[in-house]
Structure 1
């Protein structure tokens, strides 16, 4: 079974995974969606870390460290960032984090990731504007999205035929122009949200 959900709070995500385990669904993979397999209902204890690794060896050493402490790595890759662990049986520590600062640090890492993504799109957006590929003035002048010569000087049925014909193309053109600034704003919002969670976690 696959489920599509999005979380900005690791604690809420862990609680949801634990609840899914109580309902008889065990996490086996996480990519764009959560992938579960049917299993015996249990009181599971999931924990999530956020780390990326340069080498496979570093990633394997990281997983081995947690396995030695009673935690099984159930989902995540060396480049995925989010790493999902499940407590093995009844032994091992109740948490994968040794203190408040190490637990809060995962929010700092994911905040930096979102912020770097937002910043990476800014130069591209600037280039597209400077070359005229994107016209930001179309926000206040939607007429710029229509390319039919003399469209706004037409009248009657000729105008409506041309207008209705090009409107779908204008909408797609406007959407394509808006994708990059929207992504910048969304990534920046996620970075801000994660930074707030980082500050909050440090204070707990």
Structure 2
């Protein structure tokens, strides 16, 4: 079973994963949505951290450290950011964070990553604007995106075939750049939201 959801609040995401396990679904991957497998319902404990690593060895050492403390790494890669852990030992701590500041720090790291991505998209958008890739006129006159000779003089089935054939190419050449401002706004929102959660979590008592 695969479920598509988006969380910025890791505490709410952890609670949801725990509830899914209680209903008999264990998360096995989180790359493209949440992939679950059927299990016997259990009172599981999931925790989420946010970290990226420069090398694979650093990432493996990070995972091993938690496994030694009774937490199994469920999902995440060295560059994915979000790292998912499940408690597998009754002798282990009830949390992967030692204090409230370390719990809040994951949001700070996430905010910095999202902010960097937003800046990258902004830089790309500026470059495309300078190089003429961004065609604002196409928003008001999409006909200029169609290069088929005599397209608008055609009639009947010939027009329909030619129009449908070229439309995907016209959309690509005229509106693909819109992905960058949209992506920039999404990343900026995640950055601001994570920053807010960082400040809120610091104020909360453990």
TM bracket (short chain): 0.7 to 0.9
Residue 76 of structure 2: aligned partner: 76
Q: 1:110 to 1:88 in 2, by over 3 A?
A: same
C-alpha distance after superposition, 1:112-152 (max 9, x if no partner) = 1111111112222112111211134655x44685567xx9x
Residue 11 of structure 1: aligned partner: 11
Which ranges in structure 1 are unaligned for 5 or more consecutive residues? none
Q: Does 1:62 align with 2:62?
A: yes
Query: Structure 2 length normalisation: TM-score?
Result: 0.82
Matches within 5 A, 1:19-98: 19-98=19-98
Q: C-alpha separation between the residues in 1 aligned to 2:117 and 2:144? A: 28
Q: Is 13-22 or 80-89 further displaced after alignment? A: 80-89
Moved over 2 A (4+): 135-139, 141-148, 164-175
Q: C-alpha separation between the residues in 1 aligned to 2:49 and 2:9? A: 12
What is the RMSD computed on CA atoms of the aligned residues?
2.8
Asked if the contact 1:70–1:91 (Cα under 8 Å) also holds between the matched residues in 2, the reply is: yes
Residue 178 of structure 1: aligned partner: 178
Which ranges in structure 2 are unaligned for 5 or more consecutive residues? none
Aligned partner of residue 48 in structure 1, secondary structure: strand
Q: C-alpha separation between the residues in 2 aligned to 1:130 and 1:144? A: 23
Deviation of the 1:89 alpha carbon: 3.6
Report the number of matched residues. Answer: 198
Query: Structure 1 length normalisation: TM-score?
Result: 0.83
Deviation of the 1:176 alpha carbon: 1.4
Aligned partner of residue 37 in structure 1, secondary structure: strand
Deviation of the 1:68 alpha carbon: 2.1
Residue 116 of structure 1: aligned partner: 116
